A and B are shown apart, each in its own frame.
Chain A
Amino acid sequence: EDQVTQSPEALRLQEGESSSLNCSYTVSGLRGLFWYRQDPGKGPEFLFTLYSAGEEKEKERLKATLTKKESFLHITAPKPEDSATYLCAVQALGNNNDMRFGAGTRLTVKP
């Protein structure tokens, strides 16, 4: 069964303090691993897709990386507006309509 585990559950950072969020996964043939941002009271917003080990994607202060067992979301010099819950999800090959989501990491960046 496909599984996604995210750690830590919650992370508090000072503005400018870089850190990483972890997403460990098991899947029967990976089609893609996805990162989402979710603000309180809103639906998830798509950030990145990673398809194969070694791949990296960047967007502003966020950088996502992928290995065969886990993905990291690196946050460089975060700002308070980066505060949100970050969700990781995987999709198995041959499954066109569903993803397995992790529970998320709630990030708080203090000014």
Chain B
Amino acid sequence: NAGVTQTPKFQVLKTGQSMTLQCAQDMNHEYMSWYRQDPGMGLRLIHYSVGAGITDQGEVPNGYNVSRSTTEDFPLRLLSAAPSQTSVYFCASREGGGPVETQYFGPGTRLLVL
């Protein structure tokens, strides 16, 4: 089991560029989430999915899009990157119906927007 994998590990973008952060899990988990972590602040939920084809917004969804076409993958899209999106992004997954605290986190993607 690879668990939750994220690519790339590090990315530099220019303002206005677009990119997709990849997240995959091999545990057949129904629930997947995206968080961002900024210095001096706690992790904040961006978007989450409770199953293939179902997504919903979290606390800070603006500027980000998601889709869930398969159980395994949950990509996060930045359509027009802004410096405020400089952050570390974590993907997480858990079993459907499982308590939220048991979710497994990926290793993160560090994004720098210039």
Contacts and interface: CB of A to CB of B under 8 A. Distances in A.
> A interface, how many residues as a size bin?
20 to 34
A42 B107 contact: yes
B42 A87 contact: yes
> B interface, how many residues as a size bin?
20 to 34
A53 to B, nearest CB: 18
Interface stretch (A14-22, A76-84, A90-98): A90-98
Contacts of A91: 100-101
A97 B41 contact: no
Interface of B: 4, 31, 33, 40-45, 48, 50, 56, 58-59, 90, 92, 99-108
A46 B101 contact: yes
6 contacts: A43-B92, A97-B31, A97-B56, A97-B58, A97-B100, A101-B44
Given A41-B108, A97-B33, A98-B58, A104 B42 contact: yes
With most chain A CB atoms within 10 A of its CB, the pick from B41, B44, B102, B105 is B105
Interface in A97-111: 97-104
Given A41-B108, A42-B108, A43-B107, A99 B92 contact: no
